[in-house]
Structure 1
């Protein structure tokens, strides 16, 4: 019965797409005048859709390369700013924003065990009136977080901005050579559709997507399970190993200076990981296979990863910026389900470290 319903919805979906294309062709004519319209572009703001609520569950392909992963389905609620919601109601609080990738996002655990949520809860129990925002998005690097800081973070007038980036920056610089690249999901600037025809088609497609959201989600999930998406597919075979690590340092320092220019206290965080030898076990198989196409070894990758954490420490000293050294403090392998992602046990542990650090700084600043 479910299969029949899915098939009917899919056929209706295809029919509507066909009618949309036909209607747009009949009623919307392109402007063929001599005036060249040019190409409109925009900054790609990598965020979750504001106001969206969805459920995530790791599929069998994802789980195959993990250990100690929380099981079940997990709720994700996005607030009006595009941040993962901590269920707070009042906005009249001192604000803390966590910026990062999937290691900050913490999707695969109950929403009340994600460490940004727990930090707000722990600080509240200590008498601090603080609202915490989780800006983590899978795949985001420090340059994406800089965009989010400028366009979303600064208008909220936060007291602290906490930045944790490493592995996504390492990957983008290793595979693309620069933050400024043409990778469809990673590039900072993207083209926009121009014509009325394209805009109408885009709007109607969005309506159709919402109507058939469950069907489309199921199709995407099944597609991912059978053929996992590789964001660096076109550059896996690049042979250059000239890692431009200085770009990482520049990006981090730009984030810090931007915070300071707007009277926001930046906090740097080194990234927890299991990238230490011996590299035996299922969690290393996926990165090993991907690095092999690059002519890279996981041993070399581990050294580069650790050098990025060292860069964070060095920048903290040079820029007189607060540091939470999670890389040195999270040592139990059972707190991470792969090379760099926390499970709920690790999230609880990390939340205490961050809460202790923040409360100490807040006490000194009489917040």
Structure 2
């Protein structure tokens, strides 16, 4: 009597012939493509052609369009303020990278764009009190015209970033007026880096895309954007004293080249004015309101003790250089016959208007908006 044949269990490949065929075909295609790449690489190298290079691009200083933030006051900065912060502040970005509120009208009677760093950004000020927006509201109320007032500022930027933003982002809006306020960021960049084009720091205007890092970053941004944001916030909070952009210079003896600093700052301001005039835009320069007085108060002294004073740069030298850069803003305005809104002279240098050395609080921002609106109104025309 014959024995029954043992039942053999079918493998996954036998049960799924179509999937197996697709898998084998896919793997074969990958191998063919990989082999073709290596053959072409060998061929190109033999003929002096090298394509395995990294891309470079000019960074646009803006927050990513359509981003939404709720920002508590930076606890690492509490030692440098005598104001009280108990809430989070919204920072909402429109589709063009401007801080909202921005484009109120599709067909405005006129548009105004403000460019600058954190002192124009007004991160820790309520949305409706940020002077770039509020100045537009006041002008709209007083003139009866529909006005879009854009806040194109971003913390840490300088006049070179403003030139880039002006050319590539602002000009297409065809605004009637562009208002600029920069000083301390330019001064810091030129003191420590000696140039706007330092290739060895993250402030370099040209960014090299390292392919492996780019792939990793893109993967995280596509699949884990919130986890990545939480990680970045955690690492910042764990750094005592906050992130020091110029930490690698601390403790070193600085040699201030005031002539070069003045020349570079002047030329960038002149470039901004010239671009605006060529494009039939009215340029307006602003000096930076501040609490940098002859005798520094506690907040300013604490700030300079932590970030500023070091060999070659004491408070007197810092103030003299800052004031001289303010004077350059006034001189560029006078030389070109353009309006200079002198916030350094107009806004009282105290804690009622500034929460630290140079940043407006809500009251100070409202005050500045009133000054700005009053100065802009005569040049807006009927």
TM-score above 0.5 = yes
Match for 2:360 among 329, 333, 342?
A: 342
Match for 1:289 among 300, 306, 312?
A: 306
2:327 equivalent to 1:310: yes
Say which SS state the counterpart of residue 350 (structure 1) adopts: helix
Q: What are the Cα deviations for residues 174-230 of structure 1, in whole angstroms up to 9, with x where unaligned?
A: 011111112533111111234xx6654332121134142563354244334x35111
Q: Which residue of 2 aligns with 1:17?
A: none
Match for 1:49 among 61, 64, 73?
A: 64
Q: Which residue of 1 aligns with 2:146?
A: 129
CA distance in 2, matches of 1:345, 1:120: 17
Matches within 5 A, 1:165-204: 165-194=182-211, 200-204=215-219
CA distance in 1, matches of 2:187, 2:121: 18
Of stretches 166-175 and 213-222 in structure 1, the one that deviates more from structure 2 is 213-222
RMSD: 2.2
Select the structure with the greater relative contact order (CA < 8 A; seq sep ≥ 6): 1
Of stretches 110-119 and 291-300 in structure 1, the one that deviates more from structure 2 is 291-300
What 5-or-longer segments of structure 2 have no aligned partner? 1-29
Q: What are the Cα deviations for residues 311-360 of structure 1, in whole angstroms up to 9, with x where unaligned?
A: 01111111111111111111240201111111000001000011111222
Say which SS state the counterpart of residue 335 (structure 1) adopts: coil
Of stretches 29-38 and 351-360 in structure 1, the one that deviates more from structure 2 is 29-38
2:134 equivalent to 1:118: yes
Offset of residue 116 of structure 1? 1.0
2:376 equivalent to 1:358: yes
Gap change, CA 1:190 and 1:214, over 3 Å in 2:
closer
Contact 2:292 2:349 in 1 (8 A): no
Q: Which residue of 2 aligns with 1:9?
A: none
Contact 2:221 2:228 in 1 (8 A): no
Offset of residue 262 of structure 1? 0.7
Offset of residue 160 of structure 1? 0.4
Contact 2:118 2:359 in 1 (8 A): yes
Offset of residue 275 of structure 1? 0.9
Q: What are the Cα deviations for residues 60-106 of structure 1, in whole angstroms up to 9, with x where unaligned?
A: 22112102254311001001111101154423111111000000000
Contact 2:104 2:148 in 1 (8 A): no
Q: TM-score, normalised by structure 2?
A: 0.82
CA distance in 1, matches of 2:308, 2:222: 40
Q: Which residue of 2 aligns with 1:36?
A: 50
2:74 equivalent to 1:59: yes
Q: What are the Cα deviations for residues 239-274 of structure 1, in whole angstroms up to 9, with x where unaligned?
A: 321132200000000010011111111000011111
Contact 1:41 1:192 in 2 (8 A): yes
Give the paired residue count.
Answer: 336
CA distance in 1, matches of 2:273, 2:346: 23
Match for 2:347 among 330, 339, 348?
A: 330
Q: In terms of Rg, which structure is larger?
A: 2
Gap change, CA 1:331 and 1:146, over 3 Å in 2:
same
CA distance in 2, matches of 1:280, 1:105: 24
Gap change, CA 1:294 and 1:102, over 3 Å in 2:
farther
CA distance in 2, matches of 1:124, 1:308: 32
CA distance in 2, matches of 1:198, 1:341: 35
Contact 2:254 2:311 in 1 (8 A): yes
